[in-house]
Structures are given as structure tokens and as C-alpha cells.
Amino acid sequence: MTKTRRVSERDFSSLFRATEIERFSIHPTGLKAVCSVNKGQNYELAMLNLSSGSIRTFLSGDQALLSPTYSPCGELIAYQADFEGNEDYDVYVVDAGGRKRRKVTDGVADNEHPAFSPDGARLAFLSNRESDMENLYVIDLGGKSMTRLTDEPLPISDFAWSPDGETIAYGVGVGDDDYISIVNTRKRKTKKALAKRGVEFGISGYYGPCAFHWSNDGRSLLFTSNEEDRFDIGVLDLASRRRKWLVRSANDKYCPSWSPDGTKLAYLEVQDPDLVLKVREGRRTMVVSQKTGVSRAAGWLPDSSGLVYVNGSSVQPEEVFLARASRRKKLTRFQGVPLPSKKFARPKLVRYRSFDGLRISAMLFVPPGGLSGRGIVLPHGGPEMQSLNFWDQIVQMLVMKGFSVILPNYRGSTGYGGRFLHLHDRDLGGGDLKDTLNAGRFMIRRGFADKDKLGFWGASYGGYMCMLALTKAPEMWAAGVSVVGYFDCETEFENERGFLKAYDISKMGDPKENRELYRDRSPIYFLEHLRAPLLMTASARDVRCPPTESREVARRLREMGKEFEYHEYTDEGHWPRKRKNLKDLYSRSVDFLDRKIES
């Protein structure tokens, strides 16, 4: 066994120096891209030269500027903005020179994901302004008139204009019987294009968005579906309603996109624990991205000669790359200072049996300096997400302190097909919690952690899982950190946004009819069992897991005399955007676990 590692402030600080990138949109000339980047204060718009890789700030302010997109002629840019992470987005349009900025929505509700019509005269976007449910709206940029196009009972997640601008295809659902519909933008008439009980159909999926879902003649549409369990890629002929599978494999696939000339197909494919970018041309398919790490947000150059995409890994912050056939070029230099890479751990893919024999996949990080007996279980949020080989400072910070870290992809995670995805239906906080507990037992059994030196770190749904683990299996844990979690399923349901209510009803049933289940899965009713020291954090502007959840737990723990610490970030939403707050959150977490779990 080794002693607790001493880590310099310089080493930790270097992990927070990289510029972060959210999304980008390529100019019609293919010479530049407008990006949403965060250099430390907040997300702003920047111009990226696709030849030199130079980047300069284009537009900034006190709001986060996100999801930029060029108009077809490249003379306008649309984007969405909110204040301190409150997700109360409005849509703006600015000319390509950064002047004549104007707000095109009215400040009512959330307005997001703007997309220009092919002629640039209209702007489509999603909004929950009516019935607290994301539907599709369009604004005439000349007359500024707003029209609601759809009336869906479940949230619309993504959409794509047809080449002639007459129709929009869109995906609906919460990961349960999702379907694709098409709406006529003039007549406002909708019809389902792809729907089947027990099957999910989508346009993009995760890690997007991608463009060019329609064929150039507007007669067919790309889609993803888990009809055969894994998410495969198909094309739908809209006239005949015939479907043809284009890519089928043992891995989940996302974000299919034709090249502008229609001769190539790009898509993302999970190769656990990595996510790679592939291109199919004719009968030939090749990986054009790195084979390790997570590649995402791929966009075709206008001449179809290559793809711009983002890639990062657990040992390297994200950068922007350009891939042309087998050649790959790094465009950006977002990480401005050297990283203490020798102190990092690369993930090892492991699998273990859970309580019912189900095989669970996980990433395991082992400190290069040897085992200390200290281990951390760190499940992802979501819950419908997947822990992949992407950059996240918290993992390497824990490794640098001598902790072994395991990231389990519990049942209900994405990336493992439809059957695995639905194993948590009507069972949130049940089987997935047991899978996560068994990740800790796996570490102890294999010698990566001592049974009295096991900790838990989780955020969002992971923060909820942390509190469940610490109260329902209190004997396992030496300490825990719960970040922006929720703890009373009933009050969470009352206060959350409409799309989250729809998800909860789908996965847990109506809380009035299933009150016993909701209470059994609410850690607030089991706080008396808490033994391990707890650090809990919340954010004042969080609309997903409101801070009222954490405040009430803190009040009760205080009355019970439990050992805990509580910190609230007053100027953040669900996840920190200001670098100082992210650094404080992670440093506070690591320091707490380091103090409470001794070597």
C-alpha cells in the first residue's frame, strides 16, 4: 500500500485551464466556424479559422451563449442564451459581423435549438411555453410572427428541415416508444412517419447535433432505431414508407448525417468505452476519428471533403479536429499549459456480475503509483447516459490522490441496446442502485479498495444514487459526496420541468397512484440510517434538481446530528459554467474524501 499522495496546487490548476467547446456551425464557405466556447467565465461565441486553427471571441456578455448556427447564406447567426444556468433560454439573431443583435423570442419559457429554414427566411425552435412541454415553433424573421407547429403530449427532442423548407421531421418521446413525425410548416398538419410499440425511433440521438438528415431530393430521411435491440441506422422512403437498414452492428450508433453531396454517410458508434466517428462510402466503412476517447458534434465541410469534430479522452481535454479520408489534423490548442499526464490513469474496461447475474460494464482507473486501499464508486447521471472515455477532471484528481475509481454503467444506461436500456423501467433507484453497489463490491473483491475505505461520488442522478447508497447500504461506505441530487421523488416531481415529469411518469408511473414506490425510492425517508460523513452541494438556479431538495435534507440532517457538510453555489444552474465554481466543487469534493477516507 502507498501513502496519501501529495498533489501540488499547480497540478490541480492545470486541469482547469483548457477552453471548453459546446457546439459549432460551419460557414457555407467552409473557411470558418462559429463556436460556443467557455474560456473560464461563461460560454461565449467565437470564430474558429478552419485553416489556421486560430480562434477569436465574437460575442460575449453576462449570459451563456449556446448552440450557434449559421443561416444558409452565412450572413446571420442564431443562438440561444440564458442567465447563470437557469435554462430560461431565449433565441437571438445577430449578423455575421457581430452587429444588429436582436432577440427574436419574447422571454416566455424556454426557447432553444434554433435552426434556419433552407431559404433563411424563417427560424424554427423548441419551446415549452404552452403546457410546459417542448413543441416546435417557427418565426418569420421578416414579419416576426410566431407560429406553433405541433401539439405533442411528450417533448420534442430534435428536428430537421426538409431541403425545400416545406416540412420538418422531428423526434418525440422520453426514451420510451419514441417516434418520428413530420409537420407541414405552412398547413401545420402532422403525421407520424415512424412509430412502433416497444421501439424507439430518433433523428440524431446523443452526441449531436448533426445536419443533413434528409436526402437532397427530400424523398427520404435518415433515422436511428433499436428495433433489433442495438441502435441501428436506417433510411425511410417517405412516399412508400419502406425502410432500409444502412448500418447494423453489435454497437449503438448515433447522429447519422449524409455528406452535402449525398455520397457519404457519417455516424458515431460506441466501441465501449470509446465513441468513434465513422464514414461509409459505398461498401467501404472507415474510422476517421481517433480510436480512443469520445468524438462528437461532427459536421461536414460544405464540399463534402471532410468532417470537423470534437474529440477528448480521460487523459486529454477536448480539441477540434478536421478529418479528410485517412488524414486527421488538430485545429485547436485549447489546453494551453502542460498536464501532469504521468500522474493520470487510463481507463480499463471491466465487467462484473450484478445481483441477478446481469453483466455490467464499467471503467476502472487505477493510480499509476500503486494501490492505497482507497476506492471511489462514481456512477453517471441521467440516468439514461453512459460513462465513456471522456475528459472529466474529477476522475484524475481522485487518481492523483491515490484513489482507485470505478464508473459503472448500471442497467438503464445508454450504449448497450434497447433491452438493457429498459431494465430500469418502473424501477429507478432499484436494480440500478444494486448494480452500483456491486461495483463497490467488485473493487473490494478484486483488491482495488479495502472494505473500510470505500467512498461514493455522484452528481445529478448520481447524486441521488449516492444518498440512496449511503442510506440503504450504510455499512459499505466510509464517506460520500452528493452533487446537485434530488432526494424526495414526490417533491422533485412537483417542482421539475414538464419533460422531466413526463420521464418520471414513464419510468415510475403517476406519483399519486404509485406513492409507495416513490417513497421507497426517496432517500429522504431513510436519513436516520446514514453513517458515513457526507458532503452535499446544490446550485441556487438549478431547475432540474432544485436546491430546495438539498436544503430540506440539510435541515433534517442537522436536527439528527449527522456528520455532513453543505455548500450551495448561488450563481449556477444544474452544472457549473464558471471555471472557479467547477474547480471549487471538484477540489472541495476531493479534499473531503481525502480527509474522511484515510490511507
Q: Which tens digit of pLDDT belongs to each residue from 438-448?
A: 999 999 999 99
Q: How far apart are CA 166 and CA 20, in angstroms?
A: 36
Read off φ and ψ for residue 84, nearest 5 degrees.
50, 40
What CATH number did the domain enclosing 278 receive? 2.120.10.30
Residue 212 is predicted with a pLDDT of 81
What CATH number did the domain enclosing 561 receive? 3.40.50.1820
Q: What is the pLDDT of residues 532-552, one digit of tens each?
A: 999 999 999 999 999 999 999
- Which H or E element spans position 498? helix 498-508
Q: What is the pLDDT of residues 252-265, one digit of tens each?
A: 999 999 999 999 99
For the chain, the straight-line distance linking the first and the last C-alpha, in angstroms and rounded, comes to 8
Is the alpha carbon torsion for 473, 440, 564, 595 positive or negative?
positive
| pLDDT bracket for residue 4 (50, 70, 90) | low
Residue 349, C-alpha cell as written in the block = 474496461
| pLDDT bracket for residue 58 (50, 70, 90) | very high
Go through 470-501 and write b for each residue having 16 or more CB atoms within 10 A of its CB, e for each that does not: bbbbeebbbbbbbbbbbbbbebbbebbbbbbb
Which among 281, 306, 336 is the end of a domain?
Answer: 336
Residue 47: pLDDT above 50? yes
| 140 and 102 assigned to the same domain | yes
| 33 and 96 assigned to the same domain | yes
Q: What is the pLDDT of residues 548-572, one digit of tens each?
A: 999 999 999 999 999 999 999 999 9
Q: What is the pLDDT of residues 89-119, one digit of tens each?
A: 999 999 988 888 999 998 888 999 999 999 9
**How many domains does one find in the chain?**
3
Q: Residues 412-437: what's their mean pLDDT?
A: 96
| 132 and 217 assigned to the same domain | no
Mean pLDDT of the chain: 95
Q: Is residue 200 part of a domain?
A: yes
Q: Is residue 6 part of a domain?
A: no
| 184 and 62 assigned to the same domain | no
Which among 336, 366, 394 is the end of a domain?
Answer: 336
Q: What is the pLDDT of residues 488-536, one digit of tens each?
A: 999 999 999 999 999 999 999 999 999 999 999 999 999 999 999 999 9
Q: Is residue 1 part of a domain?
A: no
| 232 and 271 assigned to the same domain | yes
Q: Is residue 115 part of a domain?
A: yes
Strands of the 122-127 sheet, one edge to the other:
111-116, 122-127, 135-140, 146-148
Q: Residues 236-246: what's their mean pLDDT?
A: 95
| 470 and 575 assigned to the same domain | yes
| 67 and 169 assigned to the same domain | no
Is the alpha carbon torsion for 573, 575, 579, 583 positive or negative?
positive
Residue 43 is predicted with a pLDDT of 96
Residue 285: pLDDT above 90? yes
| Count of residues in the chain | 599
| 139 and 171 assigned to the same domain | no
Map residue 582 onto helix, strand or coil.
Answer: helix
Residue 2: pLDDT above 50? no
Considering the entire predicted model, what is its pTM?
0.95
| pLDDT bracket for residue 314 (50, 70, 90) | very high
Percent of the chain beyond pLDDT 70? 99
Q: What is the pLDDT of residues 118-136, one digit of tens each?
A: 999 999 999 999 989 999 9
Domain that holds residue 90: 20-148
Q: Is residue 192 part of a domain?
A: yes
Specify which residues 267 forms β-bridges with: 278
Residue 1: pLDDT above 50? no
Read off φ and ψ for residue 465, nearest 5 degrees.
-65, -35
| 191 and 316 assigned to the same domain | yes
| 232 and 127 assigned to the same domain | no
Q: How far apart are CA 574 and CA 188, in angstroms?
A: 35
- Which H or E element spans position 595? helix 579-596
- Which H or E element spans position 113? strand 111-116
What is the β-pairing status of strands 20-26 and 122-127?
unpaired
My answer on whether omega of the bond before 273 falls inside 30° of 0, hence cis, is yes
Map residue 359 onto helix, strand or coil.
Answer: strand
Cα dihedral angle (519, 521, 525, 526), rounded to 10 degrees?
150
* Helix spans in 354-472 (H): 393-400, 418-421, 431-445, 461-472
Q: Is residue 256 part of a domain?
A: yes
C-alpha closest to that of 350 among 342, 361, 366, 339: 361
Q: Is residue 236 part of a domain?
A: yes
C-alpha closest to that of 88 among 110, 61, 114, 67: 110
| 404 and 551 assigned to the same domain | yes
Residue 147: count other Cβ atoms within 10 Å of its Cβ. Answer: 14
| 319 and 410 assigned to the same domain | no
Which among 287, 303, 336 is the end of a domain?
Answer: 336
My answer on whether omega of the bond before 209 falls inside 30° of 0, hence cis, is yes
Q: Is residue 413 part of a domain?
A: yes
Q: What is the pLDDT of residues 356-401, one digit of tens each?
A: 999 999 999 999 989 999 999 999 999 999 999 999 999 999 999 9
